[in-house]
A and B are shown apart, each in its own frame.
Chain A
Amino acid sequence: MSTQEKEWGLITEFKSSADIYHAAEQLRDSGFKKFECYTPFPIHGMDDAMGLKATKLPWLILACGLTGLATATGLQIITNMDLYPMIIGGKPNGAGSIVAFLPVMFELSVLFSAFGAVFGMIGINGLPKFYNPVFKHEAFKKVTDDGFFVVVSVDDPKYNTQKTTEFLEKIGGKDVTVIND
């Protein structure tokens, strides 16, 4: 059975974080929308250089934190004030005992927020994803070491294999290669 190979994008390598930063600016200014920069570490200011909007992740984390707070408050009020009120060591039950519930309310807010931050980040990033067309590019192994790569996707409205290759070479990209999916 032969597999139909489909063109996925163009990959090119840059020498340093400064080069890839300026390349991203030029891609953004020339109207490219669907390109991605792959770097071994986050580069300061890259989001602006690529024209990315801020992530909505903090709102998700806030929602998770509030869920945690509500869970802790509900759990303690229902179990200790309603289902089985216990008076131990003269500690009151009723509105006054809310103070004793604060530690658990704080802890669960933090716990749920942390779940939101980690699983939210992993989920929005579409991870875990063990197959990615970029992994087919042999030189791409360097990306987690000292490689700086730009990929322009075929989905980009300005994409044209010939012209985009020339553009990438003009802005300093080395070894522009077509990646198939």
Chain B
Amino acid sequence: MIDMTLDPNADNPAQRTPLVQGGMDFKDVSHAVCDISERKTPKIWFLCLAAALGGLGLLKTSILYLIWEGTGIWGLNNPTYWGWAIVNFVFWVGIGHAGTLISAILFLLRQDWRTGVNRFAEAMTLMAVACAGVFPGIHIGRVWAAYWLFPIPNQMTLWPNFHSPLLWDVFAVSTYATVSLLFWYVGLIPDVATMRDRAKTKYRKIAYGILALGWTGANKHWQRYEKAYAILAALATPLVLSVHTIVSFDFTVSNLPGWHTTIFPPYFVAGAVFSGFAMVITLMTVVRHIYKLENLITIRHLENMCKIILLTGTLVGYAYAMEFFIAWYSGVEFESYAFINRAFGQYGWAYFIMIGCNVISPQFFWFKWCRTNVVFMFIISIFVNIGMWFERFVITMTLNNDFLPSSWDYYAPTIWDISTFVGSFGLFFTLLLLFLRFLPIVAISEVKNCMPEADPHHGDNH
């Protein structure tokens, strides 16, 4: 229930809708979150896990066959050397961005509403980055030589080429994954300690006891903890922008028309935030309903995320328009051709799916009803997820007509392209279900810290 007399955006914080509703106190917050993993595992969870494990099996099978047979099993052809592998990689890395953005940038901006959703979004980041990491690993062809990407000299003292954007990716994505994991774990320590102190069975006591590292909540510890957390947020903020910037360098540092543009880094970052928030909404609306977390993850949280989707969706739309404008304005015929071909060529259908999903569908969020209706925002978020996958598809595939008409061809995926992509969702959901079952999905101590009674001057008249 929302008290509509309060305005979520009021300048005076006292008039804003409270972040925690339903008259919950500290104890209720811990209980609401910890109970999710303490109550008996519901049957539906096992069913979902079975389905997710099926997807994971599909991914494994596809990868094993790929290693056995080679990248020829994919639909790659002469102008299209990068197929779905790069599309899926950029798609999954992008999904991850919402988590870091919520936990780092919104933390630095003192946006207290982030506390309800940041744990879940950060976990989603890690899972998405795990899925992303699969694709560059397998698309190099000779998977057993993947370690060549790392700075290890081989027998000819040949080192990796640090001028190459693909190598920058190795550093950017592995740093991103590591820092996200550390950030997530640091946030988890006090909450895992809560679960340790509530644990009834021996195994839970041992498992959570080890994860909590003996956390006591001593103020000296909190002091260093808060400092470390703030600095991690300050480090992760440029990091999250750099990751997708460097991913976009893979494209933009090449000399191909349609790719060689300076708008790519900001355009990719905006798209990543856009798709990441859409995925948070997709999952959060469902999880909040199933686990009855409406008092912790309120409509205000969801509405704020819808506003971010509206903003980034509009930025992405601007980037699409600007690409066309610059292609015309530059007067380069190859550039112009690439874009006309993109919209009206063989892949025009994909281009218009992209425009429909990414540019038009978020515009509904101008209306308050659309931002506050959970079912509606769920549907729009699905459109955005689809649209953002097609964006990467369009960018990668519409180069099938390059400089030489003799090498023009049409790319079509094979069954193995599809099975690898579908399988990657199996990996994502397997990790997600394990997280939902065993760890606190809302940042308990951070939510408590944002409640009015946490302030030592609460009730004082100054």
Which label, helix, strand, loop or mixed, suits the secondary structure of the B interface?
helix
B146 lies within 8 A of chain A by Cβ: no
- CB contacts under 8 Å to A, within B417-460, are 445-446, 448-449, 453-460
Interface size, B (range): 35 or more
- CB contacts under 8 Å to B, within A141-157, are 141-146
> Interface of B with A (CB < 8 Å)?
25-27, 30, 151, 153, 157-165, 167-168, 171-172, 175, 178-179, 182-183, 185-186, 190, 193-194, 196-198, 209-210, 213-228, 231-232, 235-236, 238-239, 242, 246, 249, 445-446, 448-449, 453-460
**Cross-chain contact A38 with B220 (CB below 8 angstroms):** no
**Cross-chain contact B239 with A44 (CB below 8 angstroms):** no
Given the interface pairs A57-B224, A130-B214, the reply to whether A103 lies near B171 with Cβ below 8 Å is yes
CA distance A58 to B172 in the complex (A): 23
Q: Could you say which residues of chain A place their CB within 8 Å of the CB of B25? A: 146
A18 lies within 8 A of chain B by Cβ: yes
A167 lies within 8 A of chain B by Cβ: no
**Cross-chain contact A57 with B162 (CB below 8 angstroms):** no
CA distance A135 to B459 in the complex (A): 32
B-binding segment of A2-10, A74-82, A171-179: A74-82
**Cross-chain contact A111 with B225 (CB below 8 angstroms):** no
Given the interface pairs A79-B151, A80-B163, A125-B221, the reply to whether A18 lies near B190 with Cβ below 8 Å is no
**Cross-chain contact B225 with A146 (CB below 8 angstroms):** no
Q: Could you say which residues of chain A place their CB within 8 Å of the CB of B238? A: 106, 110
Q: How far is the CB of A86 from chain B (nearest CB, A)?
A: 5
**Cross-chain contact B30 with A146 (CB below 8 angstroms):** yes
Q: Could you say which residues of chain B place their CB within 8 Å of the CB of A69? A: none
CA distance A53 to B257 in the complex (A): 58
**Cross-chain contact B446 with A44 (CB below 8 angstroms):** no
A132 lies within 8 A of chain B by Cβ: yes
Q: Could you say which residues of chain B place their CB within 8 Å of the CB of A103? A: 165, 168, 171-172, 242, 246, 249
**Cross-chain contact A104 with B171 (CB below 8 angstroms):** yes
**Cross-chain contact B456 with A44 (CB below 8 angstroms):** yes
Q: Could you say which residues of chain B place their CB within 8 Å of the CB of A97? A: 163
Question: Residue of A at shortest CB range from B171?
Answer: A107
8 contacts between A and B (CB under 8 A): A17-B455, A17-B456, A22-B456, A76-B162, A79-B151, A107-B242, A117-B228, A125-B224
Interface string of A116-137 (1 = CB under 8 A from B): 0110111011011111101100
Interface residue from B171, B178, B235, B457 paired with A117 (Cβ < 8 Å): B235
A66 lies within 8 A of chain B by Cβ: no
**Cross-chain contact B227 with A55 (CB below 8 angstroms):** yes
Interface size, A (range): 35 or more
CA distance A102 to B402 in the complex (A): 31
**Cross-chain contact A129 with B213 (CB below 8 angstroms):** yes
Interface residue from B27, B214, B220, B459 paired with A129 (Cβ < 8 Å): B214
Known interface pairs A41-B448, A117-B231, A127-B221; 19 further A-B residue pairs with C-beta atoms within 8 A, sorted by A's residue number: A39-B219, A40-B26, A40-B30, A42-B223, A43-B222, A57-B227, A57-B228, A58-B227, A79-B162, A83-B157, A86-B161, A107-B175, A113-B231, A114-B179, A118-B232, A124-B224, A125-B220, A128-B213, A144-B445
Q: Could you say which residues of chain B place their CB within 8 Å of the CB of A127? A: 213-215, 221
Q: Could you say which residues of chain A place their CB within 8 Å of the CB of B175? A: 107-108, 110-111
Given the interface pairs A46-B219, A50-B219, A106-B242, the reply to whether A118 lies near B182 with Cβ below 8 Å is yes
- CB contacts under 8 Å to B, within A47-86, are 47, 49-50, 52, 55, 57-58, 61, 75-76, 79-80, 83-84, 86
CA distance A117 to B227 in the complex (A): 8
CA distance A176 to B172 in the complex (A): 53
Question: Residue of A at shortest CB range from B450?
Answer: A41
Q: How far is the CB of A88 from chain B (nearest CB, A)?
A: 6
Q: Could you say which residues of chain A place their CB within 8 Å of the CB of B242? A: 103, 106-107, 110
Which label, helix, strand, loop or mixed, suits the secondary structure of the A interface?
helix
CA distance A37 to B246 in the complex (A): 45
CA distance A140 to B10 in the complex (A): 39
In the A-B complex, the 3 residue pairs with the smallest Cβ-Cβ separation, listed nearest first, are: A21-B456, A121-B228, A146-B26
CA distance A37 to B459 in the complex (A): 21
Q: How far is the CB of A63 from chain B (nearest CB, A)?
A: 13
Q: Could you say which residues of chain B place their CB within 8 Å of the CB of A17? A: 453-456, 458
CA distance A75 to B162 in the complex (A): 9
CA distance A122 to B211 in the complex (A): 12
Question: Residue of A at shortest CB range from B454?
Answer: A17
Q: Could you say which residues of chain B place their CB within 8 Å of the CB of A170? A: none
**Cross-chain contact B161 with A88 (CB below 8 angstroms):** yes
Q: Could you say which residues of chain B place their CB within 8 Å of the CB of A108? A: 171, 175
Given the interface pairs A43-B456, A106-B242, the reply to whether A88 lies near B163 with Cβ below 8 Å is yes
Q: How far is the CB of A180 from chain B (nearest CB, A)?
A: 17
Question: Residue of B at shortest CB range from A75?
Answer: B151
CA distance A88 to B242 in the complex (A): 24
CA distance A152 to B127 in the complex (A): 44
Q: Could you say which residues of chain B place their CB within 8 Å of the CB of A31? A: none
Interface residue from B185, B186, B222, B232 paired with A39 (Cβ < 8 Å): B222
